[in-house]
Amino acid sequence: MSEIVTVDIGGTHARFAIAKVAKDGTITLGEPETLHTEDHASFQTAWQDFRQRMGGTLPDAVAMAIAGPVGGEVIRFTNNPWLIRPKLIPEKLGCPRYTVVNDFEAVAHAVARAPEDQFMYVAGPDEPLTSDGTISVLGPGTGLGVAHLWRSGDEYRVQATEGGHIEFAPLDNIEDTILARLRKRHRRVSVERVVSGPGIVDIYQALAALEKRAVADIDDVAIWTAGMKGEDSLAAAAVDRFCLSLGSVAGDIALAQGGFGGVVIAGGLGYRLRDLLPQSGFAERFRAKGRFDSLMGTIPVKLITHPQPGLFGAAAAFVRQHGCPKL
């Protein structure tokens, strides 16, 4: 049994854990530590904080899942100000072997390796994800992550994408109002502006404007909390509308990627919505693709329930690249 550090860095949180890797490639995660990105000036200071929490020493191998593009000499995050220079990882972190992947590339690795009992039914036929074909993976959080994987038996390949930045396509007059509101600030409105945690604010404010209601300026956390608890009818309506938009986007992603073998919803916010999505208008919107309604109805839609798919998937990507690290 050997060990690696696995890290999942998003816009708001950086999650760290020690992963144990058996000789057959089986991965077991230790208890994760969650740090706030805004509390640390850089990834290196966050790493030092984690190292101190772990008693002052860490394994000399690291797997990193990053919310943003990972190519090039300098990695810039989409939704936080940190920078990472991969070539300096051996020097700065003391890890001569490392793997750096997009965060939803890591989630797709987790989807490929997770057992069937770690997926929850959301929509479509209640059957397993395909073992021979393409599976689309997406999830809302601080942004909207998108990836896909192709597999045939035990073999699979993962492709990271920036599908969260395709254009938002309204389907009714309420979404027209949401788009009009966003266009006042953004020349081009991507789906991430709506189908992400912060996007609930514009949905909420647009619904208030439609009803000619004056509402206080409250942040996304307050709206999600009130909406999920049913404490505010307008916030609850915004959450319902979010589920509709997520269904539309998930269907578009499946069409674009050929994800006819299944669609998997992931992300911290996706997990919070696990009880609501199957009862919402998600499924109807997912299928609402005109001449392709029938095809969309054949696609199983699942939600991954693994507690840390980014950490698990980053470790899986490391094992795929390097094999099992040595003791």
> Which portions of the chain are predicted below pLDDT 50?
none
Supply the pLDDT for residue 317.
Answer: 95
Q: How many CB atoms lie within 10 A of CB 33?
A: 16
Residue 117 assigned ligand-binding role: no
Per residue in 105-145, pLDDT (tens digit) is 999 999 999 989 999 999 999 999 999 999 999 999 888 99
Residue 7 assigned ligand-binding role: yes
Residue 6 assigned ligand-binding role: no
* Domain parsing of the chain, residue ranges: 2-102+307-322, 163-304
2-102+307-322 and 163-304 share one fold: no
Contact 245, 286 (CB under 8 A): no
**DSSP state at residue 38:** G
Rounded-to-integer distance, Cα 297 and Cα 116, Å: 21
Per residue in 69-99, pLDDT (tens digit) is 888 899 887 667 889 999 999 999 999 999 9
Supply the pLDDT for residue 52.
Answer: 96
Rounded-to-integer distance, Cα 156 and Cα 68, Å: 22
Give me the architecture of the 163-304 domain, per CATH. 3-Layer(aba) Sandwich (3.40)
Residue 11 assigned ligand-binding role: yes
- Let me know the angle formed at the C-alpha of 284 by 139 and 263, rounded to the nearest 5 degrees: 35
Q: Where on the phi/psi map is residue 270: left (φ > 0), alpha (ψ -120 to 50), or beta? A: alpha
Supply the pLDDT for residue 327.
Answer: 52
Third-level CATH fold of 2-102+307-322: Nucleotidyltransferase; domain 5 (3.30.420)
Residue 8 assigned ligand-binding role: yes
Residue 26 assigned ligand-binding role: no
Supply the pLDDT for residue 80.
Answer: 77
